[in-house]
Amino acid sequence: MRGKIPIKNRGGQKYQIKIKYLVAALTLVISTCILKMPAKAESCPDLRIVFARGSGGERWNTDDYLNFQTTIEEKLKTTTLDYEFIDLDYPAVGVGLDNLKTTLGAFFGAGEVYEFGESVKSGVKKLDKMINGSNCVHTKYILGGYSQGAMVVSKALDNLNADRLIYAATFGDPKIYLPEGEGMMPAACKGQNLSDYRMYVPDCQAYKGLLGAYIPYEPEVFAGKVGTWCNKRDIFCSSKLNMNDHLSYVSENLYEDASRVIFDKITKYYGIENRISSPHDTAILIDSTGSMASMINQYKAEAYRLAKETLESGGRVALYDYRDLSDPYEPVKYCDFNDCTLGIFQTELDKIHADNGGDTPESLLSASLHVMTDLEWKYGSTKSLVVLTDANFLSPDRDGITFDEVVALSKRIDPVNFYIVTNAKYGDAYENLAIETDGKVVTNFDELSLLTDYIMERYDSLPRVEENNELNERPILKDQKIENISETKIKISFETNGVKTLVILNDMILGWTTEKTIVVSGLDSSKENEITLVPVSETVRGEGIKINLSLTELKEINTPKTPNTGQRQIILN
């Protein structure tokens, strides 16, 4: 029967119900069941790796995000961890970076600068909700952020649950803070007092970012969980003025460098084996004096194993021997990083014989300085100098080389880590050399193979700072005067010995000016209005002057209200 179906009641009587009524009833039942069903459970991987992209970047498609993901993922694939990558869903509004190359004259309009601050706040809120609001109590987080995204990450730290975070890495952060970079002769330029979160900031005069500083940069509860990378002359985080360096974190392999640090943190947290290391440059320096005759073959066997594992891991090896300058005997190079294959290493190793000598100590300082100077060490590699000896060393050496000179050269190179294999009698004598170069002393033959394992398991990041920086005198700006032109327009006059002045409204860069008087127009009285004037010479930027503007009562305020919330003070340089 078309449009109707027969249904029997309990007594067997037939009656008919229209299909449309049955369908309506079924729909109601199904809808009720759906409403009663629990919401889909949140996916809870072991790890979430979240990246906050830079200004104007398209989500999921910036080179910085893709390189950050790739370099970490290729290491995570060696584990059984469950993980996911997220490109943070926040505006990342553009900032008109072309303005940095243009002198705009004396007039600036506020325009849409307020969107930048709102963009950063939006990113902070998204991170807060993602991490603190997650029901995945066992999921841990890795954070990364570039440029504006670095500001998002570093600003968010105050509000995040530290127990859920394994590590946060920032790149080109305009709010970086490195107190060791303050002054004309900063401590960083002497390799002193380096912040523990300073992973790679070659510029020893880097102090505060172009847009100020988060202080402290590493909140106490995040100790050991924060690292920052700043390219050599990056205008946003170093004292220098190069925009290209700000755009070169991929080409300079800084995400690769950070990935090794991040992966090490991950493996340590989960207690799993770290099978990834940086490339190794290992130089082996053998004491070939006569007293080594009884043990040199055992030393050689372990030297061969170390060379084999280094080469098989993609590293490079070099082989030298030494005795004493008064022997007379200059250090001999058997093969170096450019030509030392395993076959050549074995052939050359067989040529080394214990002979002559007779006096102690030997000329290790002179020999090690010679080796470090002679070799072309690879940038970013783990650098090791393995010394096999049964004697003490002269300090100063017979040619005047001192302990301090050797240590200083080691540190300038990266450092070069000294590993000294000797007998127990001289172990203490070498302890300081190992400590100063972040190496190790082995005095037990049974520990020889363990030393090779120890060296191969190490990785080194890029040098934390370059101590041989050319220091530049920073320009200054002073005597600023503020005048009210209208409700939305401010005139500022100042004196400076800089070539140009960078003008920043809140955290948005307006551009350069060569004028000593500027007019900022289009101000919004409902918003926070903070002007920063940064004097710039041809090669370096100076300390910025921060001015808080009140549109109802114009005056310079010594203790300005702070546009950022949280536990940390926001200070512009």
Q: Which amino acid is at 569?
A: Q
pLDDT digit string, tens, across residues 57-76: 999 999 999 999 999 999 99
21 pLDDT above the threshold of 50: no
pLDDT per residue over 125-161, tens digit each?
Answer: 999 999 999 999 999 999 999 999 999 999 999 999 9
- Per DSSP (E only), the strands in 147-239 are 165-171, 198-200, 213-215, 226-229
Tens digits of residue pLDDT in 360-387: 789 999 999 999 999 999 877 889 999 9
Kindly indicate the confidence band of residue 445, based on its pLDDT and cuts at 50, 70 and 90: low
Task: Please state, in angstroms and rounded to a whole number, the distance separating the CA atoms of residues 562 and 118.
Answer: 15
DSSP codes of every residue in 176-193: -B-GGG-SSS-GGGGT-S
Residue 433 has pLDDT above 60, yes or no: yes
DSSP state of 462: S
Q: Which residue has the higher pLDDT, 327 or 310?
A: 310
How far is it, in rounded angstroms, from Cα 72 to Cα 81?
13
Q: Does the CA dihedral 128-130-131-136 come out positive or negative? A: positive
**86 Ramachandran zone, left/alpha/beta (phi>0; psi -120 to 50):** beta
Domain topology for 280-457 = Rossmann fold (3.40.50)
Question: What pLDDT does residue 359 have?
Answer: 66
- Better-predicted residue by pLDDT, 325 or 495: 495
Whole-angstrom distance, CA of residue 464 vs CA of residue 191: 9
User: What is the rounded (10 degree) CA torsion for 9, 10, 11, 14?
Assistant: 10
Question: What percent of the chain lies above the pLDDT cut of 70?
Answer: 83
Least confident of 28-42, 359-373, 520-534, 553-567: 553-567
**pLDDT score of 484:** 86
| Mean pLDDT to the nearest integer, 250-258 | 93
Candidates 245, 258, 253, 306; CA nearest to 281 is 306
Per-residue pLDDT band for 296 (boundaries 50, 70, 90) equals confident
> Cβ–Cβ contacts within 10 Å for residue 88, how many?
22
Is domain 477-571 classified as CATH 2.60.40.10? Answer: yes
The answer to whether residue 12 scores a pLDDT higher than 60 is no
pLDDT above 90 as % of the chain: 59
Superfamily of 47-93+114-270 according to CATH: Alpha/Beta hydrolase fold, catalytic domain (3.40.50.1820)
SS3 532: strand
Decide if 501 contacts 92 (C-beta within 8 A): no
Residue 327: the pLDDT is 80
Query: According to the model, what pLDDT value does residue 36 have?
Result: 45
Per mean pLDDT, which of 92-96, 326-330, 437-441, 446-450 is the most reliable? 437-441
Confidence grade of residue 424 (pLDDT, cut at 50, 70, 90): confident
Instruction: Assess whether the region 280-457 and the region 477-571 belong to the same CATH fold.
Output: no
Interval 46-63 mean pLDDT: 97
Q: Residue 4: is its pLDDT beyond 60? A: no
425-431-399 Cα angle (round to 5): 90
Look at residue 405 in the predicted model and tell me its pLDDT: 95
The contacts of residue 247 (CB under 8 Å, 6+ apart) are none
More confident residue, 98 or 398: 398
pLDDT value of position 263: 95
Q: Which of 3-17, 168-182, 248-262 has the lowest mean pLDDT?
A: 3-17
pTM of whole model > 0.75? no
pLDDT at res. 238: 97
> Model confidence over 485-494: pLDDT tens digits?
888 888 999 9
Say what the pLDDT of residue 52 is.
98
Residues 413, 400: Cα–Cα separation, whole Å: 21
Question: For position 98, what pLDDT does the model report?
Answer: 54
CA atoms within 13 A on the CB side of 74: 11
What's the average model confidence in pLDDT over 471-489?
89
Question: Tell me: the pLDDT tens digits for 103-121?
Answer: 544 566 676 688 999 999 9
**Residue 26 pLDDT:** 38
Length of the chain in residues, anyone? 573
The overall average pLDDT reported for the chain is 85
241 pLDDT higher than 60: yes
Among 156-165, 202-211, 350-359, 425-434, the least confident range: 350-359
Q: Which are the contacts of 396, defined by CB distance < 8 A and separation ≥ 6?
A: 365, 402, 403
Q: Which residues, including other chains, have CB under 8 Å from residue 107's CB and lie 6 or more apart? A: 518, 519, 521
Give the start-to-end residue ranges of the domains of the chain.
4-36, 47-93+114-270, 280-457, 477-571
- pLDDT of 446 reads 62
